[in-house]
Amino acid sequence: MKALRVLIKGWVTSFRYPAFISGFQPTLPVPPLSTIYGLISAAKGELVTPEDLSIGYVFKHDGKAVDLETIYELSGLKGKSNVIKREFLVDPEIYLYLDDPEYKKYFEHPHYPILLGRSTDLMNITEIKEVELAKKANVKLGKTILPFGLNGAYGTIQALPTHFTDTIPRKAAGTKPFILMNQFFDYSNECCYDEEMDWGVWFHR
What pLDDT is recorded for position 45? 97
| Tens digits of residue pLDDT in 122-154 | 999 999 999 999 999 999 999 999 999 999 999
Query: Exposure pattern of 132-148 as b/e (b: 16+ CB <10 Å)?
Result: ebeeeeebbbbbbbbee
Alpha-carbon distances of 166 from 37, 46, 68, 159, 171, rounded to whole Å: 12, 9, 31, 21, 8
List of residues 6+ apart from 55 with CB closer than 8 A: 33, 36, 37, 40, 96, 97, 98, 99, 203, 204
> Structural domain boundaries of the chain?
2-204
Stated pTM of the model: 0.93
**What's the CATH code, domain 2-204?**
3.30.70
How confident is the model over 98-103, as a mean pLDDT?
Answer: 97
**pLDDT surpasses 90 at 17:** no
